[in-house]
Structure 1
Amino acid sequence: MQMNKELSKKHRIRFFLMNVLAFALIFFALGLIVLNVFHLSAYRETDDVLNSTSISSPIVKLEIERYEQQDPSYKNTMSKSSTPFRGGMSNNFNTQVILWSQDGEILNTDTLVGRFTQFQNLSLNTKSLDAIDTIELQDTASDNTSVFHSVTLKNTSDEDSEVAYVQILANTNQIRSALANFQVILILCMVLFWFLSIGVSYYLSSLSMKPILASWKQQQEFVENASHELRTPLTIIQNSLQHLFTKPNRTIIEESESIAQALTETRRLTGLTNDLLVIARNDSNQQTLHNKAIAVQTFLTNLMKPFQEMAELDQKTFVYESTVAPNVTWTFDEKKMHQVIVILLDNALKYTNSGDTVKLISTINKEWQIEVQNTGPSISDHDKEHIFDRFYREDRSRSKETGGYGLGLAIAKQIITEHKGTIIVKDVQPKGVCFQVKLPKRVAKVDATKKK
């Protein structure tokens, strides 16, 4: 038991660590994807504007005209320009046009005014013309750093112009600040939810272990109970055979009692092993249903004949009631349903006395309902809760007399569950027990050729 607990603990820790690692990888991957997508989308509009700008763009032409006309205030340039500049983008806080000479000197210093201290450390880079660069500039006056996305264009419109190159810079400080804040918030949220995922992982690891532990416990109980039940008949058989060896000169007739006892226990042992095999196959899902349309009335009539004879021999009353028409069929596994009803009728006869009544009732509405009632002893509420458990017997001493091992009802429940049906036990007034089986409507039909 201690070993099982330690093994269970190891598996739980293993599941827990796997879940924590899985959540960490998911959050990390999600964070990277979100950051990359947000980063690309944040700079996309700025980069699109820069990519669409050329020497013939109004903003560039206006800035060149203003420089050539020595008009820092834009008054004369704006009045003469055929394509007036709207919005004053060249003086916009976030956008600046720099005119360069062939020697790499800034020409339009007059329009930079107070921002010249920010651009005086800027140098001309002609190696990546028409490509967007990221530039960081230190303002010597305020010690502030500004970040720009920039594109440099060669002036090919006028070879005689002093302006050799034009550089457009778009300030991205606000975008970078927003990205930094978003990154901090995203990381904090990821860390917070990762800590929450630790609790979820612990819960999931415990939850995932429950069916494993339940199956493990069920398997242990099954092996222990099966071993216990097998030990008794084997011991009796062994003692009977050993007794025969102690009296080798006696005849078979003289030792018939020991031989009969060994044979009886052998038959019981065979029945027990067959039941154990059925349960083991059901647990491993090796059993399959062979459903076909069966005439309900004919099926039950043939099945109950031997039980009617047994009831008559034991001075019991067997009653069959049915509201099902002879030509109605229902789809089920004939062999397995035969086994279920045999188990229920066999139990009803075993646990009743002379003068009691056993009743088989069959009705069909939306479901096929089968009831096996008897006027024998009632079953306590506690026993009703466990009566379909394996190896459970209401009265162990009485079960030995009837040859039961507590497997019949467990097998019946498995078969009914496979058919997607239900089986319950309830009291019958004023005295008795009723086992009720309900099978869902698979394929119910009436044979028209027999209907006249």
Structure 2
Amino acid sequence: MNTEISRKQRLKFFFINVAAFAVIFLLLGFITLQLLQSSAYRQTDLSLKKMAESEHLIQMEINRYQQGNPFLSQQPPNEQDMDQIPDGKNRFNTQIILWSKDGKILNKEVIGGRFTELEKLSLNTKQLDSIQALNLKNSSDSAQKLSFRSYTIKAEQNNGIAYIQFLANTNQIADSMKTFETILILCMIAFWLISIGISFYISKMNMQPIMNSWRKQQEFVENASHELRTPLAIIQNSLQQLFTRPDHTILEESEPIAQALNETRRMNSLTEDLLILARSDSNQLLLQKEDVDPKAFIQQLAQPFQEIAEMNDKQFILENFADQSIAVDEKRIHQVLVILLDNALKYTEAKEKIVLQSAISNDNWLIEVKNNGPSISDEDKKHIFERFYREDRSRSKETGGYGLGLAIAKQIINQHKGKLTVRDWQPKGVVFQIRLPLK
């Protein structure tokens, strides 16, 4: 892939990841703050509403106002009334304000020194019977801001009292919320900076399979072009040779004609193999599964190979034990076994042995193709299922191979959710094992 394109794509992935992390952190922070704020003030709001429902508390405040005695003490409230006061059983953070109809505080003498905190408090009759958040400046200290939760109701009595307001100081909660908000923002920034490094790593990882795929595609095109070039050159030379001797008969030129036809067949086989691999890569190689009797299938498939082996003085042993029906694409599995058996015949000499085994093992159809021909090195085992890979190129040339057969076999078995592996057959030879799940 072009280096500039690769760099731009990687940067694109990087910025997408950074933006995604930023959005996630912002949403997380926003949701966390909203939930915390609603839960932090929930108990205070509930207590204010309960105070507004407590006739005892209201009457006690009215009596204090009417008698002008802030220290007036009535009969102690019951346990239920005490539980309605925020902050436990004291009212240090709460205050009841009695308002006149024209918006004047009636009980400011009873409030005493705390009235300086509420001097700038004004009556709001538009939002009765609902919790409101208030922020007031302290008259004695203009830099200090006081936070309250407020609940105002309309008074049912006359005596000049038109409205009753219940206040709860929430400075402590507000300060805690600010501290938490600061910590949350700092943590979000810190983790977002960490996410930038993670995004860089993820963008690099995202590009890795793309680059690997690109390299494989390049190798595939180069190898396919190389393999097609040879038969095309032979066909071209054969046809050019015919033009140099126009007076010769077909019989006299049978050799170049046969050579051209042979290369045409090889090229046709190669293009079909390339088409299978291309369809498999794009998930267009559809399997047509049907129930198959493995015993009859293997018996029929092995027969021509047994005859070829006998003609070439090679031993072909069939161990056919699988007797349980299995759903597979018969045509594709036939293609895989033809590839493996054809390779076994090619790479075994006279008097050597080829074994085809078929059995049911642990809910799998187990097929093994063994031959005691040349062994495969451990390094070659790692690459043997790659396209156009050939262990011995000179020998493959003699056998007419392109290095696509095992790659095709691997693709077909993978699409069946099975496994195709290779291992040594002691003391000499190789074993190709197919494991297909019955279900």
Give TM-score, length-normalised by structure 2: 0.91
Match among 324, 328, 331 for residue 332 of structure 1? 328
What is the Cα deviation at residue 296 of structure 1? 1.8
In structure 1, the partner of 2:97 is: 98
Q: SS of the residue aligned with 1:393?
A: coil
Stretches of structure 1 lacking an aligned partner (at least 5 in a row) = 443-452
Q: 1:314-353 counterparts in 2 under 5 A?
A: 314-324=312-322, 328-353=324-349
In 2, Cα distance between the equivalents of 1:250 and 1:29?
A: 85
In structure 1, the partner of 2:146 is: 146
What is the Cα deviation at residue 87 of structure 1? 8.4
Q: Does 1:354 align with 2:353?
A: no
In structure 1, the partner of 2:419 is: 422
In structure 2, the partner of 1:118 is: 117
Match among 399, 409, 434 for residue 431 of structure 2? 434
What is the Cα deviation at residue 243 of structure 1? 0.6
In 2, Cα distance between the equivalents of 1:61 and 1:277?
A: 93
Please tell me the residue identity of whatever aligns with 2:269. Answer: G
CA 1:92–1:266: 2 relative to 1, 3 Å: same
Please tell me the residue identity of whatever aligns with 1:361. Answer: Q
In 2, Cα distance between the equivalents of 1:152 and 1:198?
A: 50
Please tell me the residue identity of whatever aligns with 1:111. Answer: V
CA 1:256–1:129: 2 relative to 1, 3 Å: closer
Q: SS of the residue aligned with 1:175?
A: helix
Match among 190, 193, 200 for residue 192 of structure 1? 190
Q: 1:291-306 counterparts in 2 under 5 A?
A: 291-306=289-304
Match among 379, 383, 399 for residue 380 of structure 2? 383
In 2, Cα distance between the equivalents of 1:432 and 1:397?
A: 20
- Percentage of identical aligned residues: 54
Q: 1:43-122 counterparts in 2 under 5 A?
A: 43-54=41-52, 57-75=55-73, 77-78=74-75, 86=82, 92-102=91-101, 104-122=103-121
Of the structure 1 ranges 125-134 and 380-389, higher mean CA displacement relative to structure 2 is found in 125-134
CA 1:246–1:184: 2 relative to 1, 3 Å: same
In 1, Cα distance between the equivalents of 2:78 and 2:287?
A: 89
What is the Cα deviation at residue 128 of structure 1? 4.4
Q: 1:268-283 counterparts in 2 under 5 A?
A: 268-283=266-281
In structure 2, the partner of 1:264 is: 262
In 1, Cα distance between the equivalents of 2:5 and 2:133?
A: 58
Contact 2:336 / 2:409 at 8 angstroms: preserved in 1?
A: yes
CA 1:112–1:280: 2 relative to 1, 3 Å: same
Give TM-score, length-normalised by structure 1: 0.88
> Over residues 356-412 of structure 1, what are the superposed CA-to-partner deviations in whole Å (9 max), with x where a residue is unaligned?
222222222222222222222222222222111111111111111111101111111
In structure 2, the partner of 1:403 is: 400
Of the structure 1 ranges 231-240 and 27-36, higher mean CA displacement relative to structure 2 is found in 27-36
Please tell me the residue identity of whatever aligns with 2:91. Answer: N
Match among 222, 225, 246 for residue 223 of structure 2? 225
In 2, Cα distance between the equivalents of 1:109 and 1:58?
A: 20
Contact 2:69 / 2:110 at 8 angstroms: preserved in 1?
A: no
CA 1:348–1:187: 2 relative to 1, 3 Å: same
Please tell me the residue identity of whatever aligns with 1:234. Answer: L
What is the Cα deviation at residue 208 of structure 1? 1.9
CA 1:61–1:222: 2 relative to 1, 3 Å: same
Contact 2:388 / 2:404 at 8 angstroms: preserved in 1?
A: yes
In 1, Cα distance between the equivalents of 2:353 and 2:54?
A: 108
CA 1:82–1:372: 2 relative to 1, 3 Å: closer
Root mean square deviation, CA, Å: 2.6
CA 1:83–1:341: 2 relative to 1, 3 Å: closer
Q: SS of the residue aligned with 1:111?
A: helix
Stretches of structure 2 lacking an aligned partner (at least 5 in a row) = none
> Over residues 57-102 of structure 1, what are the superposed CA-to-partner deviations in whole Å (9 max), with x where a residue is unaligned?
2212111112223333214x448x9999758969822111223345
Contact 1:89 / 1:96 at 8 angstroms: preserved in 2?
A: no
What is the Cα deviation at residue 142 of structure 1? 4.1
In 1, Cα distance between the equivalents of 2:292 and 2:253?
A: 49
> Over residues 228-273 of structure 1, what are the superposed CA-to-partner deviations in whole Å (9 max), with x where a residue is unaligned?
0000000000000001001101111111111111111111111111
What is the Cα deviation at residue 319 of structure 1? 1.9
> Over residues 118-138 of structure 1, what are the superposed CA-to-partner deviations in whole Å (9 max), with x where a residue is unaligned?
233334444544444433333
In 2, Cα distance between the equivalents of 1:86 and 1:375?
A: 95
Contact 2:70 / 2:111 at 8 angstroms: preserved in 1?
A: no
Contact 1:55 / 1:153 at 8 angstroms: preserved in 2?
A: no
CA 1:84–1:218: 2 relative to 1, 3 Å: closer
In 1, Cα distance between the equivalents of 2:354 and 2:80?
A: 107
Please tell me the residue identity of whatever aligns with 1:151. Answer: Y
CA 1:314–1:414: 2 relative to 1, 3 Å: same
Contact 2:410 / 2:420 at 8 angstroms: preserved in 1?
A: yes
In 1, Cα distance between the equivalents of 2:84 and 2:221?
A: 89
In 1, Cα distance between the equivalents of 2:254 and 2:386?
A: 37
Please tell me the residue identity of whatever aligns with 1:285. Answer: N
> Over residues 400-425 of structure 1, what are the superposed CA-to-partner deviations in whole Å (9 max), with x where a residue is unaligned?
11111011111111111122222222
Contact 2:322 / 2:365 at 8 angstroms: preserved in 1?
A: no
Contact 1:12 / 1:205 at 8 angstroms: preserved in 2?
A: yes
Please tell me the residue identity of whatever aligns with 1:242. Answer: Q
Match among 14, 17, 20 for residue 19 of structure 1? 17
What is the Cα deviation at residue 21 of structure 1? 0.5
In structure 2, the partner of 1:176 is: 174
In 2, Cα distance between the equivalents of 1:222 and 1:403?
A: 19
